[in-house]
Amino acid sequence: MVDGGPAGERTSAPPGGTRLKDTERDEHVPPGGRARRDAAPRRLAAALLAAAVSPVLPGVAHLRAGRVRLGAALLGVQAVLLTAVAIAAGHGRSLVLELSVRPGWLLAVAVGSVVLAGLWAALIIHSYAVLVPEDLSPPLRLAGAAAVSVLCLLAVVPPVTVAHFGRLQRDLVTGTFAEEGGAGAAARPGRPSAPPGGDPWARIPRLNVLLIGGDADVGRPGIRTDSMTLASIDTRTGNTVLLSLPRNLQNVPVWSGRKRVAFPDEELLNAVYETGRERPQVLAGGGRVRDPGAELLKRTVGHILGQPVPYYAMVDMRSFRQIVDAVGGVRVCVAKPIPVPRQQVPAGVLKPGCRRLSGREALWYGRSRTGSSDYARMSRQKCLIWALARQAGPLTVLRSFERLSGVFKRSVSTDVPRRLLPPLVDLAAKIRNAEITSLQFVPPVISTGRPDYGKIRRMAGKAIRDSESGSHGTSGLHILSNSCT
């Protein structure tokens, strides 16, 4: 109802019945009240902005709110932390390597990341609380609380992710790598032994690691080591020679570490592993090692090649395809058609050409003997090793880390000690850019039925010397970058 005021001038009736004009009602609003109500959204936005930057600039919100001591203390803590990070940046690579392979440090990183996530969330909430206007309307107060909750969730994602990867890496290190290399390991030749902080390669010009491909399967008890390759690595340059022994070598001089072990002449080299597992007592010094089968095979291969073999790494070939799939496949060049089982690859053949193979295709590329031989298969296996080593870069591994860590824990066994992991990672970086050569002891150069083991030792020694000098005079020596592309 309008009762006769000037045109355009509205009146309202208070509870007592007297109507007030708008101009008269505005006179009852406290001075500055309307301005404060209009500024509330802007002050809320400023409080949220200060809360959002608080993990990066802690204390800014508190200084703005007049809490100088607390704000200065928070900024001081940040300055100390940034100084420590800057100092560590000069040793960033070695520090990361140390953290990535030390279970205790990995646990500390995981726990510290969770604590940091909680501190960041608390800092965001407190920074908002000291600046949020007290006279917010309920809708604005609810919107502010929701925004702070989102900020907290976004802030805790990075440290919680770091904690998750730290836990995965710790499980991988503790589940795959031994504390040390086994009983009496440090005394055997070829094992790095340096004081803490010293160069582990100072007295070891070459590191030899036996790479084993295990071929257990359903309905086939035991493990046949159908792939046995000694990787001999120059610790100065990373140049590597792959010395491959065929699985069907006979008259094998099985070696206990001190003397020859009784072994049937007609048995094949790939049966040595099972002999060690079934008869660990044949090992000189006792069978108190991580895997007596692998230990006996290491000693035998070292005896055959005339090279010390301190370490081994064995991959279950059934899980090999999972490793390849985890890194997104592997690109290889197929020289000629390779027949494979149709239940594994629907086409029934791997066609010639350079392309990326899936895990299943890569597995059968390395396993198939149909229409070829054990020796052709050995060559393809070396190309797979080379291709994976070249293509599985740090970013690829990081993207697939969760899958890879699970596969490695299930399918890889080794006696490489944890203390050796940091220098091994450095050495692996050298290998990626170094020359990798391959030598296979196969017919017609070597008869697998009646092998000339003296000739094998001489050829292995010459291949290693050629690798060190940059020569390629050894008969049958191939540069993988040439023969696998």
**What pLDDT, on the 0 to 100 scale, is given for residue 156?**
94
DSSP 8-state code for residue 287:
S
Segment 2-21, tens digit of pLDDT = 444 444 444 444 444 444 44
Residue 472 confidence class, pLDDT cut points 50, 70, 90? confident
pLDDT for position 371: 76
Per the structure, the count of domains in the chain is 2
| Judgement on whether residues 215 and 148 belong to the same structural domain of the protein | no
Closest CA to 313 of 163, 212, 441: 212
Identify whether 26 is part of a domain.
no
272 close to 256: Cβ distance less than 8 angstroms: no
Radius of gyration of the chain (CA): 34
Nearest 5°: phi and psi at 291?
-145, 100
Mean local confidence (pLDDT), 304-326: 89
Q: Are 265 and 373 within one domain?
A: yes
Whether 390 and 302 map to the same domain: the answer is: yes
Q: Label residue 319 by pLDDT band (50, 70, 90).
A: confident
Q: Are residues 214 and 149 in the same domain?
A: no
Reported as a single tens digit per residue, the pLDDT across 78-125 is 888 888 877 766 665 666 666 778 888 889 989 999 999 999 999 999
Chain segment 121-156, per-residue pLDDT in tens:
999 999 999 998 888 888 999 999 999 999 999 999
- Let me know if residue 27 belongs to a domain: no
Interatomic CA distance for residues 408 and 320, integer angstroms: 9
Residue 167: inside a domain = yes
Please give the DSSP secondary-structure letter assigned to residue 313.
Answer: E
Please provide the size of the chain in residues: 485
Domain presence at residue 150: yes
Beta strands in 128-278 (DSSP E): 206-214, 225-234, 240-245
Same domain, 296 and 251: yes
Q: Rounded to the nearest 10 degrees, what angle do helices 138-176 and 33-53 cross at?
A: 10
Instruction: List Cα–Cα distances, 116 to 55, 56, 58, in angstroms.
Output: 10, 13, 13
Mean pLDDT value across residues 188-216 = 76
C-beta neighbour count of 359 within 10 angstroms: 20
User: Is residue 195 a part of any domain in this protein?
Assistant: no
Residue 457, C-beta contacts closer than 8 angstroms, at least 6 positions apart: 304, 305, 306
- The domain that contains 254 carries what CATH number? 3.40.630.190
Same domain, 316 and 232: yes
Segment among 47-56, 161-170, 217-226 with least mean pLDDT: 217-226
Tell me if 20 is assigned to some domain.
no
User: Whole-number mean pLDDT of the chain?
Assistant: 83
| DSSP three-state, residue 339 | strand
Are the C-beta atoms of residues 101 and 421 closer than 8 Å to each other? Answer: yes
Q: Which two tokens stand for residue 435?
A: 């020359």
* pTM higher than 0.95: no
Q: Are residues 166 and 224 in the same domain?
A: no
Cα separation, 43 vs 49, in Å, equals 10
Q: Letter for the amino acid at 48?
A: L
**400 and 469, same domain (yes or no):** yes
Question: From CA 344, how far away is CA 456, in angstroms rounded?
Answer: 36
So what's the pLDDT on residue 253? 97
Return the half-sphere exposure (C-beta side, CA atoms, 13 A cut-off) of residue 133. Answer: 19
Same domain, 86 and 219: no
Q: How confident is the model at residue 343 (pLDDT cuts 50, 70, 90)?
A: confident
Domain that holds residue 130: 40-176
296 or 22: whose pLDDT is higher?
296
Question: 135, 158, 176 — which closes off a domain?
Answer: 176
Residue 8 lies in a domain: no
pLDDT digits (tens, 9 = 90+) for 253-267: 999 999 999 999 999
The letter for the amino acid at 312 is: Y
Q: At what angle do helices 359-367 and 374-391 cross, to 10 degrees?
A: 140
| Rounded mean pLDDT, 308-330 | 88
What are the tens digits of pLDDT across the range 376-391?
888 888 888 888 877 8
Q: Do residue 272 and residue 336 come from a single domain? A: yes
* Last-in-domain residue among 176, 198, 233: 176
Same domain for 309 and 427, yes or no, is yes
Tell me, yes or no, whether 258 and 356 share the same domain: yes
Lowest pLDDT segment from 115-124, 287-296, 313-322, 450-459: 313-322
Q: 410-435 pLDDT, tens per residue?
A: 888 999 988 888 888 888 888 888 88
Residue 460, domain member (yes or no): yes
